[in-house]
């Protein structure tokens, strides 16, 4: 259970404001944030420069990477090496992503959401241009995480505008999409794309014809697939079986996930 949103009043062992902010925000995560995967009350800080994440849960081994800033999180966040990220996705050992924004004056968490690891597919990773020859790491290639390509169901809110979302609601939302972990990356990509179609409809109840309106969009995502409509219908069946949507009969569905 999160008890307070304010950072602890402790002196950061750094001079730079960015390093200080990271020290305070990671200290807050260590003291206050629980594991969204299993509900354990504490996360353990991993050694600095760990190859995978920043925190881990001792109870279930879920790992988390923390990105924090003193302003609202935008449509993308800068991450590490592109090659390493793609290798982690292929090996399915990437961490879940904690996105934390804070008030610089009050030194308090204002918004916090988590992108579960099962929403990480190659399509949301953007390769950046290599560093210039004059740079100390000339030729190094980083990446961006494109949050705009993550469905709403994959951005689980823990703190919204300085208000806590009840823990039981957060844990329920996490579990409602955890079925994606059992899917291969390519299959997860299709399911996530159809999830986004369902969310874009904008209402709880919809018809299969509403989903088919996004057929051209998915043809652009999967240009080599000659049976996009059939594939969309298959994904709806899988989402129904997983409990993400409910089939009402006669081509009608209801979205069950309440974010």
Per-residue exposure over 119-133, b if at least 16 CB sit within 10 Å of its own CB, e if not: bbbeebbeeeeeeee
Find tokens 């504490």 and name the residue.
42
Tell me which CATH code domain 17-182 carries. 3.40.210.30
Write down the number of H helices and E strands in the chain.
7, 13
DSSP 161: T
Task: Provide the β-strand partners of residue 47.
Answer: none
Give the closest residue to 115 by CA, choosing from 82, 148, 163: 148
Q: Give the pLDDT of the chain (259 residues) as one tens digit per residue.
A: 788 898 876 656 666 667 777 888 899 999 999 999 999 999 999 987 776 789 999 999 999 999 999 999 999 999 999 999 999 998 888 999 999 999 988 889 999 999 999 999 999 999 999 999 999 999 999 999 999 999 999 999 999 999 999 999 999 999 999 999 999 888 999 999 999 999 999 999 999 999 999 999 999 999 999 999 999 999 999 999 999 999 999 999 999 865 5
Let me know if the fold of 17-182 is the same as that of 185-255. Answer: no
In the chain, where are the structural domains located? Answer: 17-182, 185-255
Please determine, looking at this structure, whether the domain spanning 185-255 carries the CATH number 3.40.50.300.
no
In degrees and rounded to multiples of 5, residue 63 shows phi and psi of: -115, 150
Q: How far apart are CA 111 and CA 100, in angstroms?
A: 6
């Amino acid at each position: 259970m999160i008890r307070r949103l304010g950072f602890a009043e402790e002196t950061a062992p750094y001079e730079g404001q960015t390093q200080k902010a990271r020290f305070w925000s990671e200290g807050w995560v260590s003291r206050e944030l629980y594991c969204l995967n299993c509900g354990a009350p504490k996360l353990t800080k991993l050694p600095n420069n760990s190859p995978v994440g920043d925190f881990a849960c001792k109870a279930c081994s879920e790992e988390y990477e923390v990105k924090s800033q003193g302003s609202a999180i935008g449509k993308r966040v800068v991450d590490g090496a592109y090659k390493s990220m793609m290798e982690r996705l292929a090996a399915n050992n990437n961490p879940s992503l904690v996105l934390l924004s804070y008030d610089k004056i009050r030194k308090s968490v204002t918004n916090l959401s988590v992108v579960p690891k099962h929403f990480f597919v190659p399509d949301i990773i953007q390769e950046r241009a290599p560093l210039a020859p004059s740079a100390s790491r000339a030729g190094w290639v980083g990446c961006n995480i494109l949050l705009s390509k993550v469905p709403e169901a994959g951005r689980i809110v823990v703190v919204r505008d300085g208000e806590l979302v009840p823990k039981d609601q957060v844990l329920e939302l996490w579990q409602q999409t955890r079925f994606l972990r059992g899917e291969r990356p390519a299959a997860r990509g299709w399911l996530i794309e159809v999830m986004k179609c369902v969310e874009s409809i904008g209402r709880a109840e919809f018809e299969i014809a509403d989903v088919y309106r996004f057929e051209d969009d998915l043809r652009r995502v999967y240009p080599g697939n000659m049976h996009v409509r059939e594939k969309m219908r298959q994904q709806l069946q899988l989402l129904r079986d997983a409990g993400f949507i409910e089939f009402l009969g006669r081509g009608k569905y209801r979205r069950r996930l309440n974010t």
